[in-house]
A and B are shown apart, each in its own frame.
Chain A
Amino acid sequence: DVKVTQSSRYLVKRTGEKVFLECVQDMDHENMFWYRQDPGLGLRLIYFSYDVKMKEKGDIPEGYSVSREKKERFSLILESASTNQTSMYLCASSFGGGGTPYEQYFGPGTRLTVT
């Protein structure tokens, strides 16, 4: 079974803090993604990566950065947390080829509250 784990289920941070969200997958997937989920807005793509040290901006990258130093790990960084970054953050991974195209495996999510 594919397993995608996220470092925290719940996190509370203060405005202006630097926040690190970690994601690890154990299936040697090439692709990894970070989304945020907000009511009425669905899943919005923040950043994604198709390979180690490679990153691409998604639809809402402002205020975020990412790091992928190893294939299994994809980190999301909030450089200076703001209250409008309070959200559910979901990490996902997928195969680069084979299997169902584009099928993603998601972690359980991190509920981040910025006060």
Chain B
Amino acid sequence: DQQVKQNSPSLSVQEGRISILNCDYTNSMFDYFLWYKKYPAEGPTFLISISSIKDKNEDGRFTVFLNKSAKHLSLHIVPSQPGDSAVYFCDISGSRLTFGEGTQLTVNP
């Protein structure tokens, strides 16, 4: 029973435009939500997080939105840059550690 789903395996956007990556979860007991970025041949690196008591957290070009009623998490990157091209994983954490399948983002110059 998959508790976390990233429904888009890939996303392609133009440089300067907004990238929106999505993540849906099933268990409302999770209390912390994180996004990681992974380049090829490297381990994932932490990007941004949000706790369940908030609905938005911003860090520079990256904003994470949490819609608890819809059990939906999204990451907005604006403006997107070619260096943002990577696989993005959402991590829905609490008593269990559960990553999504990942979304490959490609930002075209």
Residues of A at the B interface (CB closer than 8 Å) are: 4, 33, 35, 40-45, 48, 58, 90, 92, 100-109
New A-B contacts (19) at CB < 8 Å, excluding given A42-B6, A45-B97, A101-B49 = A4-B43, A41-B101, A42-B99, A42-B100, A43-B102, A45-B99, A92-B43, A100-B34, A100-B49, A101-B51, A102-B32, A102-B49, A102-B93, A102-B97, A104-B44, A105-B46, A106-B44, A106-B45, A108-B41
> In the bound complex, how far is the Cα of B36 from the Cα of A77, in angstroms?
26
Which residues of chain B are within 8 angstroms of A45 by Cβ–Cβ distance? Answer: 97-99
Shortest A36–chain B CB gap in Å is 11
> In the bound complex, how far is the Cα of B43 from the Cα of A33, in angstroms?
13
> In the bound complex, how far is the Cα of B62 from the Cα of A73, in angstroms?
33
* Cross-chain contact of B9 among A40, A92, A107, A108 (Cβ < 8 A): A40
Query: Cβ of A103 and Cβ of B99 under 8 Å apart?
Result: no
For A9, the closest partner residue in chain B by CB is B41
Shortest B95–chain A CB gap in Å is 11
Residues of B at the A interface (CB closer than 8 Å) are: 6, 9, 31-32, 34, 36, 41-46, 49, 51, 89, 91, 93, 97-102
Query: Cβ of A48 and Cβ of B99 under 8 Å apart?
Result: no
For this complex, 12 residue pairs linking A to B, each with C-beta atoms less than 8 Å apart, are A4-B43, A33-B97, A40-B9, A44-B99, A45-B97, A100-B34, A101-B31, A101-B32, A102-B49, A104-B46, A107-B43, A108-B42
Which residues of chain A are within 8 angstroms of B34 by Cβ–Cβ distance? Answer: 100, 102-103
Query: Cβ of A103 and Cβ of B46 under 8 Å apart?
Result: yes
Query: Cβ of B49 and Cβ of A40 under 8 Å apart?
Result: no
Which residues of chain B are within 8 angstroms of A43 by Cβ–Cβ distance? Answer: 44, 89, 99, 102
Query: Cβ of B100 and Cβ of A108 under 8 Å apart?
Result: no
Query: Cβ of A42 and Cβ of B49 under 8 Å apart?
Result: no
> In the bound complex, how far is the Cα of B43 from the Cα of A90, in angstroms?
7
